[in-house]
Amino acid sequence: MPNDYATTFKIVDADDDGLISAAEMTRLMEVLGQPITLEAASAAISRMDKDGDGLISLEEFAAYLG
């Protein structure tokens, strides 16, 4: 459900700029007790990043999870 994705997205988007960065992904994984390196977060971002800007939009996030 898109609203579920939006809620989760807003939690991860710590600076509320409408995009998820590798740094935000790294912080999320630390909070979840699964710390990852910035390089691993960047790799995860690149798998979801359809427009090549190095950031994840809500649309890219929902498409990846959906």
CATH number at residue 19: 1.10.238.10
Residues spanned by the domain of 29: 2-65
Task: Give pLDDT, residue 9.
Answer: 94
pLDDT surpassing 70 at residue 1: no
Alpha helices, DSSP H, located in 1-66: 2-12, 22-31, 38-48, 58-65
| Of residues 39 and 4, more confidently modeled | 39
Q: pLDDT tens digit string along 7-64?
A: 989 999 999 999 999 999 999 999 999 999 999 999 999 999 999 999 999 999 999 9
* Number of domains, the chain: 1
* CB-based contact 39:62 (threshold 8 Å): no
Q: What is the number of other CB atoms lying within 10 angstroms of the CB of residue 56?
A: 28
Task: Give pLDDT, residue 2.
Answer: 58
